[in-house]
Amino acid sequence: MSNNSSLSVNAHVTFLGADLIGVFESGSKADTTGGKQATVTETKLLVMPTDAENNGIKLTEAISQINSLVDSFSPSKIEGGSLKPEDVKAKMEQFGLKIFENIGINLKQVFLYQDTKKTVVDGEQPKVDKSMEYAINVEITDVLTLPDDFKLFDIKSIGLAVWNTQNKKVLERMSIANIDTLLASM
């Protein structure tokens, strides 16, 4: 009879227009190395994008979907109602953002990898080793599109990236503007 056990749960989801896969794995095994009884339990969590094309989602669509979700859980209407796209549009226009419908959100990268290994030898205090890598890259497109008669400047996109991983494939997918690389290409 084996003292090993394993569990795996996975999910495919779409978030902000990005197709993601999430996997949770847990396994435990008994080991009798060196005459001592040891139990090793390893738990891993991974969230990452699939290779499906991601064109993001328009801000107005995101607001509508969030409202629909909130309204579906609300037993009665909250005073003042949901956040309305036209209210957000009016506020954005106060800041000079006239073409609100064009603003998009593109989730270019979501990556989370956590690995936890717990080893217990002969009932002693557990030894726990943990590691976590993450990366997120969000791009907001068509932020400021000025009228055709005023083309002094446009803000085509604004990106925000945060990461601690050194995984080459994850970093390549993020397409991060790097100062050293930009200077070297001059």
Question: pLDDT 10s digit of each residue in the chain, 186 long?
Answer: 457 889 999 999 988 888 999 999 999 998 877 778 888 999 999 999 887 777 788 877 877 777 777 777 765 555 555 666 677 777 767 766 666 677 788 888 899 999 999 988 887 888 999 999 999 998 888 766 666 666 677 777 888 899 999 998 888 888 777 788 888 888
Q: Which of 106, 101, 115 is nearest to 25 (CA)?
A: 115
Q: How many domains does the chain have?
A: 1
Q: What are phi and psi of 86, to 5 degrees?
A: -70, -30
Q: pTM surpassing 0.75?
A: no
Domain span at residue 138?
Answer: 5-184
Instruction: Tell me the C-alpha distance between 157 and 142, whole Å.
Output: 6
Instruction: Specify which residues 140 forms β-bridges with.
Output: 105, 158
Which residues have a Cβ under 8 Å from the Cβ of 63 and sit 6 or more positions away?
83, 84, 85, 88
